[in-house]
Amino acid sequence: MNKLNLQILTFGLMLCFSVLKVNGQVLQSRSDIIKENGYGYESGVTDDGTKYIYYDKEVTTEQSGKYTQCKAIYFTKLDDGTEICKFWRILEPKSETNPNVSYMKKNFVEVDYMKWKDYETGILYKIEVEEGLCITTAWYDFEKQ
């Protein structure tokens, strides 16, 4: 493999793994998240009344080829009216499961089946595979598991 191809592959892998990082979004305010990620999002409300926004991103990986990754960020309102992220989810093709699990095992402590914790930040991560999707969820561990 020549040097340029190796650089492109390395950059691609770094981009893929960087999307799993928290980037401070759990417990971050809605306005700060939008300021950081831009206004190119859609928004909605779940059946239980939880507000969310989501960003679609075109991603290309070796295992899945080109696909649209969706990152949904769910909010709760504080007493002062500020909306903060209570959890986020990334939806990808199920073919992304093995690389995502490998990343989690390398960087975090496994606390249960398909569930990891970053003890530096207190963030829990869970990976599920449903209906052809790999769903990665992250939230703050208020219960201190």
- H helices of the chain, in order, are 3-18, 30-37, 97-107
Q: Which residue would you say has higher pLDDT here, 10 or 58?
A: 58
As for how many domains the chain has, the answer is 1
Residue 145 within a domain: no
Rounded distance between C-alpha atoms, residue 75 and residue 96, angstroms: 26
Residue 36 within a domain: yes
Query: 105 lies in which domain range?
Result: 3-140
Query: Residue 131, SS3?
Result: coil
**Please, are residues 24 and 53 in contact by the beta-carbon 8 Å criterion?**
no
Residue 44 within a domain: yes
83-99: pLDDT as tens digits? 999 999 999 999 999 99
pTM: 0.81
96-136: pLDDT as tens digits? 999 999 999 999 999 999 999 999 999 999 999 999 999 99
Give residue 144's pLDDT.
82
Residue 20 within a domain: yes
Residue 114 within a domain: yes
Residue 71 within a domain: yes
Burial label, 72 (beta-carbon count in 10 A; 0-12, 13-18, 19+)? buried
Residue 25 within a domain: yes
Of 37, 25, 23, 12, the closest CA to residue 99 belongs to 12
Residue 124 within a domain: yes
Q: Which residue would you say has higher pLDDT here, 132 or 8?
A: 132
pLDDT beyond 90 at 3: no
